Amino acid sequence: MTNKTKKPKTPWPTKDAMIQIYENHLWGGPEHLFYSGDGSHEEHLVAPWLQVVQDCLSSFKSPISVCDLGCGDFNVGKQLLPYCSSYTAVDIVPDLIAHHREENIAANLIFQCLDIAKDALPVADCAILRQVLQHLSNAEILAITQKLVQYKYVIITEHLPEGEFEANVDIISGQGIRLKKGSGVDVLQPPFSLHVTSAKKLLEVIPRDGKGRIVTWLYEI
């Protein structure tokens, strides 16, 4: 008999993982073609986030350009279009982006299918990452944060534990987040250590299930 060496198992590539999430409706029931979960639809979470981000975007003398890095089902992002000079919505799932290009048309709107950890990011004044980094490995987050320096403003929303916690415990990219490990993403802490000139907390919301808190920060780079 010939001994065959088994190849070690490797994590799903992020693109495959995200495709599987939508194909198997892991963030929503089968009645939804594309659904990014209750966090993108529950009024308790979405309404206050939209209010603070719309207020932020409205504070500029002239509308600025925005890049949505991880637009998901676009239920939230589409409500920011009137406040931007241009809006580039990015996601890693090809069928999702193809769907958006057919269903969402506006003069100031562009959709791009990109892996934000590997590909060059679109040019804009402000980048938005709404509960995106929490699903990614530390290696991918580091690759992304190193590219965020091209933006003047970055708005990041993350699901964090209550109270003190160990930041940036590593995970395999996919459906889950670090909350089960008692951790969450803080881009200012190692191994990311994003350098910013100012940081302002825009919002903190407690989910209805009482698990952790969802925090939104505005960083000026």
What string of DSSP letters covers 56-117? HHHTSSS-EEEEEET-TT-TTGGGGGGGEEEEEEEES-HHHHHHHHHH---TTEEEEE--TT
Residue with tokens 């799903």: 12
Convert the pLDDT of each residue in 107-162 to its tens digit.
999 999 999 999 999 999 999 999 999 999 999 999 999 999 999 999 999 999 99
Task: Please state whether the peptide bond connecting residue 207 to the residue before it is cis, i.e. omega within 30 degrees of 0.
Answer: no
Q: Given this model, what pLDDT does residue 2 score?
A: 42
**pLDDT more than 90, % of the chain:** 74
Average pLDDT over residues 59-79: 95
Tokens of 106: 């506006």
Q: Which of 138, 207, 197, 144 is nearest to 166 (CA)?
A: 138
Q: Which pLDDT score is estimated for 203?
A: 98
The model's confidence at residue 13, banded by pLDDT at 50, 70 and 90, is: confident
* C-alpha span between 172 and 176 (Å, rounded): 9
pTM for the full model? 0.88
Domains of the chain: 39-220 (3.40.50.150)
Q: Write down the pLDDT at residue 6.
A: 44
